[in-house]
Amino acid sequence: MAPGITDLPPSPSPPAVKSTATKTVPLASTSSNGHAGGEPGAEDTHNLNLDNLNNNSNNGESTAATTTTSQEDETPPSTFRYTTTKNLRDAQRRVEHDFRSDTVTVPTEDMMQAIIDASFQDDLYDESGDECVNRLQDRLAEMTGKEAALWVLSGTMGNQICLRTHLVQPPHTVLLDYRAHVHCWETGALPVMSQASVTQVHPSNGVHLTVDDVKRHIIPEGSIYFPPTRVVSLENTLSGTILPLKDAREISDFVRSFPVPEGERPIAMHLDGARLFDAVVAEGVDLKEYCACFDSISICLAKGLGAPMGSVIVGSKKFIQRAKYFRKMFGGGTRQPGMMAAAALAALEHTIPRLPQVHALTRQTAASIRALGYTIALPVQTNMIVLDLAKDGIPAAAFVEYGKRHGVTLFPSGRLVFHHQNSPAAVEKLVAALRELMEDKKAGKTLVDHEVSGVMCNDIPYLIINALAGE
């Protein structure tokens, strides 16, 4: 386990609830729109105390309740039955067999409990913000060694806020890997939000950018034809491969010392660290040491970490204060975000210690798949296997179809992503599906080859899919 990861600062205990009254509220059954509930008695139940819970309703109808009122100046606590829903259990079983992305994970019971016990302040109206959001931000700032942090709704929002905060006045250019998420998978936000052009760089080593790649493509001030490089944006991991600390440090040292006109800001270093925890755990490096190479970092909470949603950006206090304006401008002001922040705090505790197991399972599966005759396009270093289906003559539709026959869910791109909720039994089904597919291909059987719709589909030219496998 990487230094700086295992010793997470302890989370403060929630304040005790003063017992002055009791309100018993049976939890309503699950509605057709999938809201929490479940059939009473279907699963284990727990008694929970919540402060300031007054009225509960389901589709506008009040649930049965027995209330004992205390003094007017005291807010009675409430007790209700929380059922571990059938929907959640079903979802947990479903995602065991889902290898499309690590974003498909669902909350653990600890995360659901954290949501119940969360704080409920308004992150805009309340001057001090929300307690759980503040705790999450402080936790990530401390872990990364940065001065401040800011919770945002998504990884795309986090990246684009960071870039917009760095980019003051066009003309300007962002230098990045040609497969970068901020360029390829964020719906063209960079030119829209920041009026920036990009310099796309193909790594000379075929895996990740190096300082020599950056030196060859950085654009200095002075040419009226080419907008100067104002941000170098890197990504770790990218398609499951690691940008090593050595290379990140060399690029950072070069970029931060690159000459700029007097009075101009130095070129900024941004990291799309959506799966940064996967990277530092796998490489065995110190998180703070890695983050010191960058001026801003966006860390996704919903990918490898498995939280329901959200990202956190980290940087200097001045940077984060400015970023708050863009978060509001981009529609990121929220009301009761404490529930999602509380789930993310629980995810940090639950998932980070399990990442080495996820990576080991990925490597073992890669070895089994390679033995079947499949071509693996990139090094398997963390939680992804990128297959070159085109080279192996495997149609995308057949890849998906054979997975479905064996009860596993796959993207047609050939990218396999592992997460903390995949089970060994699901991996056995995956390998069995790919074995049958390869055997049928070698036997000359006709494989289905129709158009596949949806995300990561073959509507996009196949080589582009492989290039953009970082989503």
In this structure, the answer to whether residues 364 and 416 fall within a common structural domain is yes
For residue 200, give every residue at least 6 positions away whose Cβ sits within 8 Å of its Cβ, in sequence order, or none.
Answer: 176, 177, 178, 183
| pLDDT at site 394 | 97
The sign of the CA dihedral 226, 231, 232, 237 is: negative
Predicted TM-score (pTM) of this structure: 0.82
CA atoms of 172 and 156, how far apart (whole Å): 20
| pLDDT at site 377 | 97
- Tell me, rounded to whole angstroms, the distance of Cα 379 from its chain centroid: 21
Q: What is the domain extent for residue 203?
A: 105-350
Decide if pLDDT at 36 tops 60.
no
In this structure, the answer to whether residues 321 and 370 fall within a common structural domain is no
CATH of the domain at 394: 3.90.1150.10
In this structure, the answer to whether residues 377 and 283 fall within a common structural domain is no
In this structure, the answer to whether residues 461 and 332 fall within a common structural domain is no
CATH of the domain at 244: 3.40.640.10
| pLDDT at site 284 | 98
For residue 23, give every residue at least 6 positions away whose Cβ sits within 8 Å of its Cβ, in sequence order, or none.
Answer: 53, 65, 66, 67, 68, 76, 77, 78, 79, 80
Total structural domains within the chain = 2
Whether 6 is in a domain gets the answer no
Per-residue model confidence as pLDDT tens digits over 387-406:
999 999 999 999 999 999 99
- Pairing state between β 173-177 and 229-235: parallel
Whether 90 is in a domain gets the answer no
Q: Would you say 79 and 24 are in contact if contact means Cβ atoms under 8 Å apart?
A: yes
Per-residue model confidence as pLDDT tens digits over 355-385:
999 999 999 999 999 999 999 999 999 999 9
CA atoms of 340 and 151, how far apart (whole Å): 10
With CA atoms as reference, report the closest residue to 398 among 440, 368, 361.
440
In this structure, the answer to whether residues 440 and 332 fall within a common structural domain is no
- Of the three residues 334, 350, 366, the one that is the final residue of a domain is 350
Q: Would you say 298 and 271 are in contact if contact means Cβ atoms under 8 Å apart?
A: yes
Structure-model confidence comparison of residues 37 and 144, the more confident one: 144
Per-residue model confidence as pLDDT tens digits over 184-213:
999 999 999 999 999 999 999 999 999 999
In this structure, the answer to whether residues 385 and 327 fall within a common structural domain is no
In this structure, the answer to whether residues 124 and 168 fall within a common structural domain is yes
Strand partners, 62: 57
Q: Residue 349, Cβ neighbours under 10 Å: how many? A: 14
Residue position matching structure tokens 């001026």: 295
In this structure, the answer to whether residues 363 and 341 fall within a common structural domain is no
Residue position matching structure tokens 């010191």: 292
With CA atoms as reference, report the closest residue to 271 among 292, 302, 256, 254.
292
Strand partners, 200: 176
- Of the three residues 324, 350, 376, the one that is the final residue of a domain is 350
In this structure, the answer to whether residues 450 and 306 fall within a common structural domain is no
- Tell me, rounded to whole angstroms, the distance of Cα 65 from its chain centroid: 40
Whether 81 is in a domain gets the answer no
In this structure, the answer to whether residues 333 and 373 fall within a common structural domain is no
b/e map 354-372, b = 16+ CB within 10 Å: ebeebbebbbebbebbeee
Whether 362 is in a domain gets the answer yes
In this structure, the answer to whether residues 339 and 432 fall within a common structural domain is no
Whether 47 is in a domain gets the answer no
Whether 35 is in a domain gets the answer no
In this structure, the answer to whether residues 238 and 360 fall within a common structural domain is no
Whether 97 is in a domain gets the answer no
- Of the three residues 315, 350, 385, the one that is the final residue of a domain is 350
CA atoms of 435 and 416, how far apart (whole Å): 15
Q: Would you say 95 and 108 are in contact if contact means Cβ atoms under 8 Å apart?
A: no
With CA atoms as reference, report the closest residue to 199 among 185, 180, 212, 186.
180
Per-residue model confidence as pLDDT tens digits over 403-430:
999 999 999 999 999 999 999 999 999 9
- The H or E element spanning position 388 is none
Whether 238 is in a domain gets the answer yes
